[in-house]
A and B are shown apart, each in its own frame.
Chain A
Amino acid sequence: MHSLTNLSLKTIVKKQVKWKIKLYISSLSSLIILQSIFGFLFFSSGSGSSGYGQQNLDLNFTIYSLDMHLFLSVFWAFISAIIFTTRAYRMDDLSVISSRTSSTIANTVIIMIYSLIAVFIMASTFYLQLLAISFLKNEPFIIDNLIFSPTLFMMCFSIICLFGAIGLLFGNCFKGPVFIKSLTSFFVMFAVFILIISPDSINLKGLIMLPNFMMSVCYLSVAAISFSLAIWIANKSEVSRT
């Protein structure tokens, strides 16, 4: 009898990541398209404005900040992560050595790497949009801060990562065992109910007041919990081919 192949989970995950990172790349191109379209739609409005009426001076600032770009990236991460858990992608995993666990761990790594790239894409869109405005509209800019501060970078990364993790968890929940499926549906309905009944009960102001670094840590820990839950659920799920 030939000796049996003994590959560690780590090796398999590494190989899966190596191939998936190439095969899932189209999701990043959709982020670029998404950001370009929105950059074009909201070409001139900026992300915010503030006005001052003092000393007979009517001062109006149009502020170009990263809010819209981050907003898009976050939605993108959520949807992409859900797409990664759809049938077509899961079926492809079955044709190589894999388990649901290894595939989900690989997806986790992919989401983290893509989130990192997404921050760079986000920054690129930001600068390119400014460039386009400065050439086409010929309006002068005041540069408050041009450079992504490391804490800001980390915060963008952690928020995108968090929503990717939630998407992955969400997608996996609906592929998992029945009780997890029903639990998730219940939770989602409950959350929507709460949101409709009293939207003020969800108050994140306390979180926003934290310094950037602490916020990133918070986001990343929630992301880590979501990722772990997703992997745990994957470990329990069967391959459903419908």
Chain B
Amino acid sequence: MNIIKCEELAKNYANHNALHNLTCAIESEKIIGIIGRNGAGKSTFLNILAGYIKPTSGSCSVFNKNPFNNIFTAANTILIDDRLSFSDYLTLEEILTMGADFYPNWQGELAYRLLDYVGLPLTSKHQQLSKGQMATFNLIYGLVSRCALTILDEPMNGMDEAIRTDFYRAILKEYIAFPRTFLIASHHLAEMESILEEILLIDDGSVLAHAPVEDFKQQLIVLNGPSDVLATLLADKVIYAQKDMAGMTLAVVEASSLVISEDLLRTNGITKSPLTSSDVCMYLTRKKGRDIDAFFD
């Protein structure tokens, strides 16, 4: 069952278009990584899903309803980002009491245990937390609220490595205990890859790829072989990146475009190796003909 359906979603601001023609469908109870470069429109997309902003055109439905300013989607959605704020009259403990009052699936006990684990005193105020502590608290708040759609926008910003590892595991355990849809936007794809089921790659305001993690990874492959052989082989193919070195060529190409048997590759002295998903993202989103090296020549 799809809980999110977006068609031709566009969001224009006065001076730029944050989203254009974004179409996607997200099934329920999956952990999905929302990946994209800075300014790709991830946050805009997530804000539309949370009902905070209204798309300029196109349709968006969450739980089969238009999320914009809708109390039903608001009750089942929580958006956690670094701008989450609470009244400065509330201590962390009171914030948790307030959360328990609003969210019906609230896990108060878990919240206390997690806060104790990370060593955040219940009496401190939200504004006085350090950046990492605040992110940790916000993430705990998002986890224990157990909303059917939990959107985490850069949840680990500012946290140290040990806590990040702990909390990826916490997200996974919470997901197993109470399956729900997680949308996690992050730049740290490599560290969270293992807990993801699917990856949604957004670039330039539209969806570039949406696939299960393994399929996503296998989209691109690296071929390494003699330059002349590869040159003929890849003559009409899209090459994402290429590096020539002493008669050998490294080329990143789309796996699906390569319809040659493994034996043939092997006999031609070409080796095929997979890429990590971060690399795949990087190559997919890199603008054609744009290479940082070019600026230093």
Contacts and interface: CB of A to CB of B under 8 A. Distances in A.
A75 B39 CA distance: 43
Contacts of B86: 92, 95
Contacts of A6: 72, 75
A74 to B, nearest CB: 26
A69 interface: no
Interface of A: 1-2, 4-9, 12, 15, 18-19, 22-23, 26, 88, 91-92, 94-102, 235-236, 238-239, 241
A97 B99 CA distance: 9
Main secondary structure of the interface of B (DSSP, over half): loop
A12 B69 contact: no
Nearest to B48: A238
Given A2-B179, A235-B69, A238-B52, A91 B63 contact: no
Contacts of B147: 5
A102 B69 CA distance: 9
A235 B98 CA distance: 24
B63 A5 contact: no
A25 to B, nearest CB: 8
Given A4-B75, A19-B101, A99-B74, 6 more contacts: A2-B148, A8-B71, A23-B89, A97-B74, A238-B53, A239-B52
Interface string B58-79: 0000010000011110111001
24 contacts: A2-B178, A2-B179, A4-B63, A5-B75, A5-B148, A7-B71, A7-B75, A15-B102, A19-B101, A92-B87, A94-B84, A95-B84, A95-B86, A96-B99, A96-B102, A97-B71, A97-B74, A99-B51, A99-B70, A99-B74, A100-B69, A101-B71, A238-B52, A241-B83
Interface string B15-53: 000000000000011000000000000000001000111
B1 interface: yes
B90 interface: yes
B85 interface: yes
